[in-house]
Chains A and B, each alone.
Chain A
Amino acid sequence: GQQLNQSPQSMFIQEGEDVSMNCTSSSIFNTWLWYKQDPGEGPVLLIALYKAGELTSNGRLTAQFGITRKDSFLNISASIPSDVGIYFCAGFSSGSARQLTFGSGTQLTVLP
């Protein structure tokens, strides 16, 4: 099946710092999504990207759909304690358009 390589696996940052995480694939993806999962909860959609080169913001979050359609990144600016959680990239590939493929996640810890 399709695989998404997400990095870094975990991050420890100070409150107020910016953070960046990315996702790469060997296959072309038609849609890139970024989710956040809090402990004991299901993933919640943060940002959806539908076109190569697209740059989309949601408050302090900004995500981009890579030009090659094989990567995406998520930036969080001015981190706050409630940003703590696991961030997943996900997408629909050109070869498996019905199945949503998830990355392995980035565990974010924000230190006060």
Chain B
Amino acid sequence: EAGVAQSPRYKIIEKRQSVAFWCNPISGHATLYWYQQILGQGPKLLIQFQNNGVVDDSQLPKDRFSAERLKGVDSTLKIQPAKLEDSAVYLCASGRTRISTDTQYFGPGTRLTVL
């Protein structure tokens, strides 16, 4: 079974620029998560989808971050405009069922550097 795929693996941008990340979850997984992991910290949930609907986006900075999961499969996370403090690894994870406590399988992440 293929794991969670993410691209790009690395991205360097200047502040105020826009950036987008892509995630392809494990086939058939209903739930998709985006996490932000700042260096030296654990991942922090940004948004959770069940199929193509948003379940929880309470920690997503909605003035600059947006995410969508069209057709309930892959997903994109966008930052517009980026700030220096957005430098982090952005992890995508997927879960097999709609149950939030089901095992989450993480992708390798996209490392974003904002200069």
Interface residues of A (CB under 8 A from B): 1, 4, 6, 30-31, 40-45, 48, 88, 90, 92, 97-100, 102-105
Contacts and interface: CB of A to CB of B under 8 A. Distances in A.
Interface string B80-106: 000000000001010000001101111
6 contacts: A48-B103, A99-B100, A102-B41, A102-B43, A104-B40, A104-B42
A6 to B, nearest CB: 8
Bin the interface of chain B by size.
20 to 34
A111 B9 CA distance: 30
B107 interface: yes
Contacts of A44: 106
Interface of B: 4, 33, 40-45, 48, 55-56, 58-59, 91, 93, 100-101, 103-109
Nearest to A91: B101
B56 A99 contact: yes
Contacts of A45: 103-105
B7 to A, nearest CB: 14
Contact of A40 (B41, B48, B106, B108): B108
Contacts of B59: 1, 99
B44 to A, nearest CB: 7
Given A98-B48, A99-B56, A43 B43 contact: yes
A43 B45 CA distance: 13
A90 B44 CA distance: 11
3 pairs of A and B residues whose beta carbons are closest in the complex: A42-B106, A102-B42, A98-B100
B45 A105 contact: no
A26 B109 CA distance: 30
Contacts of A92: 100-101
